[in-house]
Structure 1
Amino acid sequence: MKLPYLLLFLSAICLGQTQEYPKDYFRTPLDIPLYASGSFAELRGNHFHSGLDFKTLQKEGLPVYAAADGFVSRIKISEKGYGKAIYITHPNGFTTVYGHLKKFEEPLADFIEKRQYAQKSYEIEIFPGAGELPVKKGQLIAFSGNTGSSGGAHLHFEIRDTKTEETINPMFFGFDILMPDTKAPVINDLVAYAVGDSSVVNNSQRPIPVSLSLQPDGSYLASKVLAKGAIGFGINTYDLSDKNFNWNGIYKVETFLNGSKLFAYEFDRFAFDETRYINNFIDYSRYKTIDQTVQKLFYKKPYPFSLISRNNKNGQVVVLPDMVYNYRIEISDFHKNKRMINIPIQYSNAEPTIAKVEKKTPYFVKSKNDNNYTKDNISVFIPEGSFYDDFYLDFDVKDNVLFLHNETVPVHNNLTVTFDVTNISDVNREKSFIARMNGGGAEYFTTYKKGNLLSIRTKELGKFKIMTDTVAPKIYRPSFSEGSNLNNSDSISVRINDDLSGIKEYNGYLNGKWILMDYDFKTKSLTHYFSDAVYDEGENELKVVVSDKMGNSTIFETHFFKTKTYSPVEKTN
């Protein structure tokens, strides 16, 4: 046997085995009972959830502890995403991540604040060396919060492979013991699909729900499926756990045909560059049209997503004459609580009463080829691999507006949309960008300008047009009145907003010195904490400057009075 084939063989064996992980190496990052408001690999918009979301008693400010000895290897503070986040690298080859934090504990807090003042930026990303910020297991490192794109107060917690940066299900590391679960997953819906061009399932060539009846043993029995050709199934499901009413994601799915395993996946680990494959993993069109998330238990074309590529079959059932099939789905959570669906399938040569809907256009996209379309002053370049399947693309230009299909088709890689704006004056061109019209509003896209051409890269389909933004952002609702005495206040804040291109930059100054202002995009607020101790004794002049992405700026100026109660800490300006 040649070496490459031997390696492939060994890899295939390894994929079928669960790696052993240390069960008692990591401690809980919170000193409260653990309940998950989000599970590992849970299906989210355009991505799989990369860790566990721990509830924090519906409040912020709970102590967060280092899960094991190690050193802080990365600190990232961003307006969205994980907000304020800490990454700790451990000597056993794993890295833990703590996201949506409210604030940091010393010495981290001082280290981060000094860097923010040095860079004059709230948003920073730092990669400390191994000896700079060591931590011990159980050391207080931060306090839980609701920063970034969090939808509520909680702690996002991850365990990653330090070398590969793949994220791993924390349940493997003993967190399953801390989060008991005796409840089986719940099945909401079963959907059948006519996969082949001439396939029919229950008289339909379109996806069709299949009714289920609960059996005394807790399993479900589906109504008989009458079909011909290649068909597949999908499920809408969630998991519950003890003393927790959140609808979380499931862990494992297996399908069987006449007793033999057909298709399976389990959410154990994945790479971040794979996460967008969720759009092919689910029935994306159904998700966009009726807001129902259905996990497909088959695929049409192979795609390089590790969780499904472990199968040597595509999950489809080919229904032939004079044959009866027993198809079974087993859905499990991490604690091995299981729910089964039994589906009898029988051949039927009946013609479809619900026909496939396919609008044929002059623009047929072949997913494995580059595609380039131009009309009037607008062009669209579609590189190979941008779509998962071949399809007829709706492409049109009317009144300088690009109509690029609709949002029911997922895009995997960036498309390039280019407008020739020769007809727009130089003055307006500098304030112009390409926007996607989303409902009643305009969604800004970073627009690249070269001569008369404006271009964007997008993973969205829909309606695009040129927008011009000449209106400056708003600065409003300061937390104090001008000339106020703020001796009893620990912070000051203002609200900021921009109605079109969005906020690009914000800076605050006290008496001419740059000050750190935390930005919360959810509340549109900028907050400066007096604990930074950069204010002067007595009168202080505050200046806030906010710019949007088209360079329009607003300046807000006021003053207040405050008496110093402790010695100021010198900041780098």
Structure 2
Amino acid sequence: MKLNKAFTLIFLSFYSFSKLLAQTDETYLFPINPGNKNYLAGTMGELRSSHFHAGIDIKTGGQEGLPVYATKRGYISRIKVSTSGYGNALYMLHPDGNTSVYAHLREFSDEIAKYVRAAQYENKTYEIELFPDPYEFAFQRGDVIAKSGNTGGSTGPHLHFEIRDEQQRVLNPLHYGFDEIKDNIAPIAQRLAVRPININSRVENRFDRKDYYLSRYGVNYAINDTITAFGKIGIELLGHDKLDGAANQNGISTIEVFVNDEKYHSQIIDVMSFSLMRDIIVHYPYDIKVNKGRTYHNLYVDNGNRLNFYESKANNGYLNIEADSTYHIEIKMYDPYGNISTVTLNIKGKAPAKQIKERIDFELDRISYQVEKNILKVFTRENCEEDANKELSIYINDSIKTVLPAYFLNNVAVYLWDLHEGIPTSVLSCNKGVNISINARAIPHQATVINAENFIVNFPQSALYDTIYVSTAYEVRTQDSLEVFSIEPVTVPLKSSFYVSASPQFSHYQKDKTHVYQTDDAGNFSFVGGSWSGETIQFNHRSMGEFTLVTDDTPPVIRPATEKNYYYISDNLSGIASYTASLNGEWIMMRYEPKLRLVWIEWPEGMQNKRGNFELKVKDNAGNETIYTTKL
């Protein structure tokens, strides 16, 4: 039987790759300056705001255009061109089933670049994702496949390099024997914190997270004074790793916690699934990141955390501290090159004291409150002459609950209330009261709809990691004539978006130019979007905060750059949404580099010297458009 040509090619490709799969002894080649000493700007598992860093970032000496070499033989299985994220990226499938990834590239090899350019012009788009046929672009180990660059979300020239397994899980490249990287520096610990977890927990007699400085002894660290605690607590560690010849603060891949010489909890960030990357916001204490900008490791597994690189002996890594017991804690940090450092501390179990000779760290007139996860903390300045232990009255629906002070900070009484027992509308002490602005409890895996003043908030079933207590408010800020829709607390992480339907009270909005923006205390605006339906506007977002409506009727700005066929584009508020260009009425591709606010012509094959009428259109997210025309 005679095989047709297409079937023959498929058969031969399958046979060739099957043969290669059996040959997995080929080692991985370092993709930049192989055989020479190299330096890294980032390592596997580094804690970023919204994701763990995958793979390694290889420095290129501040240059672009260094040759990028195929780490192993194989073929290009995926090509992506984007103005964000990985920028220009190549994905290469190897005989062992792994895929190597090369990102932030300035340009591809000639044959790949020609293929991509043709697809971009055919689809009339610069940003594109392509999946070439197997072996359409096959390379041997050490072949040049691209040039390094600074495209996408890169903040400086470098090569982002990954190795992924057959399930597209990211593996740690530093376990593949690259001698080009030298590391004789042990991980560095900066701070340690201890956090009370439930209403009966205390750290140094208080229901407060306590931050500790560390004393350094060579590569080891210690808290010299014994910490007193009681009940369920969690330990949090701030630290980083360094490599020879680089000042960058990199990630710590392995941390182990020992309690009284027995391994209690560990994390090994060497294999990661992309689908769970966002769970980093429950790996680190999100409230501390929001309030102080510091990214600690939780040395426990918080509620809703689905990451699978932890191993705990008991209680998800939390410690249960009993009175009159002593706990010797050792925290060992490892890097992929075998360097080890240790943090040691001692915790003494102590029943909570009632009277504490410490001051509160905020202004208090008579009564105020804070919410920390599910605990309501009420502070009152006690001066009730008839009773130093005055009860706090807690109003929940039509009932009244009373609680005694949990402890005193000098003359300030501190009351604790578990919100699982009910959400108060107000509290009263010594004839002084305060309203509690919690609207509702939202529970994971259960849709929650909150009817607030002039807006409705909908948390879908998939939105939450843990139970949250939501406060909403509507206000008109007369100083800047803004309607503000507030959804709190901002210190609680969300797994996915919530949805809002707002009913603005102002009537002057130019709806086609008015959208939702998130605002902060400094008066900055961040475009969110939204769509109008009659007199309401719907939007969704993945972080809580304050939202307002702003009209943007100012079009983007286009101005020629000094280099021929290059143009600067910018927008004052909502941001650039799209750009398109034509020459003599025919679509022509523009390359966009947002970091430089620059677009330029990427000519198709054979058209570099074409002349005629050039038109560039740029739209912002509010729908404003600017058209620039010239003769080329």
TM tier relative to shorter chain = 0.7 to 0.9
1:388-403 paired onto structure 2 within 5 Å: 388-399=465-476, 400-403=483-486
**TM-score, normalising length: structure 1:** 0.86
1:290 aligns with 2:292: yes
Specify the alignment match of 1:559 in structure 2: 631
Give 2:170's match in structure 1, choosing from 156, 167, 171. Answer: 167
Give 2:588's match in structure 1, choosing from 485, 509, 515. Answer: 515
Q: CA deviation at 1:57?
A: 1.2
Can you list the C-alpha shifts for 1:173-192, whole angstroms capped at 9, x where unaligned? 223x3322111111111111
Which residue type is aligned with residue 362 of structure 1?
A: I
Residues 285 and 408 of structure 1 are in contact (CA less than 8 Å); yes or no, is this contact kept in structure 2?
yes
Residues 264 and 311 of structure 1 are in contact (CA less than 8 Å); yes or no, is this contact kept in structure 2?
no
Specify the alignment match of 2:303 in structure 1: 301
Answer with 290-299 or 400-409: which moved more: 400-409
User: Structure 1 residues 545 and 120, CA, compared in 2 at 3 Å: closer, same or farther?
Assistant: same
Q: CA deviation at 1:529?
A: 4.6
Which residue type is aligned with residue 327 of structure 1?
A: I
Answer with 235-244 or 152-161: which moved more: 235-244
1:319 aligns with 2:348: no
Specify the alignment match of 1:472 in structure 2: 555
Which residue type is aligned with residue 429 of structure 1?
A: K
Work out the percentage of aligned pairs sharing the same amino acid.
29
1:417 aligns with 2:500: yes
Residues 510 and 541 of structure 1 are in contact (CA less than 8 Å); yes or no, is this contact kept in structure 2?
yes
Residues 23 and 173 of structure 1 are in contact (CA less than 8 Å); yes or no, is this contact kept in structure 2?
no
Can you list the C-alpha shifts for 1:349-401, whole angstroms capped at 9, x where unaligned? 22465789426433242432322112233111112353333343221112342
Residues 191 and 207 of structure 1 are in contact (CA less than 8 Å); yes or no, is this contact kept in structure 2?
yes
Specify the alignment match of 2:382 in structure 1: none
The CA distance in 2 between the partners of 1:451 and 1:71, in whole Å, is 53
1:493 aligns with 2:566: yes
The CA distance in 1 between the partners of 2:359 and 2:493, in whole Å, is 24
Specify the alignment match of 2:115 in structure 1: 111
Can you list the C-alpha shifts for 1:426-465, whole angstroms capped at 9, x where unaligned? x932333222124433222242444544322211111112
Can you list the C-alpha shifts for 1:518-551, whole angstroms capped at 9, x where unaligned? 10011110012568542556x5432211112233
Can you list the C-alpha shifts for 1:44-83, whole angstroms capped at 9, x where unaligned? 0111011100001111110111111222111111111011
Query: Is there any run of 5+ residues in structure 2 with no aligned partner, and where?
Result: 1-23, 361-368, 377-435, 477-482
Which residue type is aligned with residue 82 of structure 2?
A: S
How many pairs align? 525
Specify the alignment match of 2:513 in structure 1: 431
Q: CA deviation at 1:105?
A: 1.3
Determine which structure has more spread, i.e. the larger CA radius of gyration.
Answer: 2
1:97 aligns with 2:101: yes
Q: CA deviation at 1:23?
A: 8.3
Matched position secondary structure for 1:165: coil
1:302-451 paired onto structure 2 within 5 Å: 303-308=305-310, 312-349=314-351, 350-351=353-354, 353=358, 357-358=370-371, 360-368=436-444, 369-399=446-476, 400-420=483-503, 428-438=510-520, 439-451=522-534
Residues 185 and 237 of structure 1 are in contact (CA less than 8 Å); yes or no, is this contact kept in structure 2?
yes
Q: CA deviation at 1:287?
A: 1.3
Specify the alignment match of 1:148 in structure 2: 152
The CA distance in 2 between the partners of 1:432 and 1:258, in whole Å, is 61
Q: CA deviation at 1:504?
A: 1.7
The CA distance in 1 between the partners of 2:328 and 2:111, in whole Å, is 62
Answer with 435-444 or 228-237: which moved more: 435-444
Which residue type is aligned with residue 430 of structure 1?
A: D
Answer with 293-302 or 52-61: which moved more: 293-302
Residues 75 and 138 of structure 2 are in contact (CA less than 8 Å); yes or no, is this contact kept in structure 1?
yes
Which residue type is aligned with residue 255 of structure 2?
A: V
Q: CA deviation at 1:515?
A: 1.9
Residues 215 and 221 of structure 1 are in contact (CA less than 8 Å); yes or no, is this contact kept in structure 2?
no
Query: Is there any run of 5+ residues in structure 1 with no aligned partner, and where?
Result: 1-21, 481-490, 561-573
Specify the alignment match of 1:207 in structure 2: 209
Q: CA deviation at 1:342?
A: 1.4
**TM-score, normalising length: structure 2:** 0.78
Residues 26 and 72 of structure 2 are in contact (CA less than 8 Å); yes or no, is this contact kept in structure 1?
no
The CA distance in 2 between the partners of 1:297 and 1:115, in whole Å, is 48
CA root-mean-square deviation: 2.4
